[in-house]
Amino acid sequence: MWRVGLDLALRTLLVEPSDILEHPLSGWDKRIAADLTKEMEQHLSEKLATIPEMRRILAVKGYRELRETIEKAITGKSGADALHAMMFAMRRYALDRPGLSAATFRTPETDSPEWRAASMELGAVVLGVFGQLGVRGEQAQHALRILRAIVRGFVLHEMGSSFLEPLSHDQSYELSIKVFTEGLSVLRK
């Protein structure tokens, strides 16, 4: 679903930005397109030459904004409290900025020195939280992959309304944080 919204929004470089929201899409596709359209309109004055160039800009911006969001959320917290705040911040960012969140996914078009630097800066913040919980090195890299899968998977299901049970998304996500936090003991050395 994110890919559809991202591709559709990137095509706004070839059509009027307001036209993008006229297509019969899901509510989330429209939110993704609106998020990316807003960003692209800000950058169109920079006379970007290609769609891959725009993807790189959006991916870098997404990582930088996510890092700032996480840093703000974990300020004054440590250990499990910081992890909890970080995971909620990551989910909230993905729900609030679905286009930029999707743009951060690595593709040949987004991979660049600037993207890698933004990724490393974000990774340093996340790995710092894992370090407070005694998870470091290669094990922290595994924890990061698992964390990304939890957040992205949960958000994709939430956006796609594929959770059919009448349960609170917040309660289910809270439980996933608890399971992940307690499961980190497997990765401690």
How confident is the model over 145-167, as pLDDT tens digits?
A: 999 999 999 998 888 877 778 88
Topology annotation, domain 52-186: Tetracycline Repressor; domain 2 (1.10.357)
Q: Are 103 and 59 within 8 A, CB to CB?
A: yes
The yes-or-no verdict on residue 89 having pLDDT over 90 is yes
Looking at the predicted structure, is the pLDDT value of residue 15 above 60?
Answer: no
Q: Domain coordinates of the chain in residue numbers?
A: 52-186
pLDDT > 90? residue 93: yes
Q: How many CB atoms lie within 10 A of CB 52?
A: 16
Mean pLDDT of 129-155: 95
pLDDT at 35 over 60: yes
CA quadruple 120, 73, 84, 158: dihedral, nearest 10:
-90
Token code pair at residue 50: 């290609």
More confident residue, 163 or 87: 87
Sequence-ordered list of residues with C-beta below 8 angstroms from that of 174, at least 6 positions apart, any chain: none
The pLDDT of residue 98: 86
For position 83, what pLDDT does the model report? 98
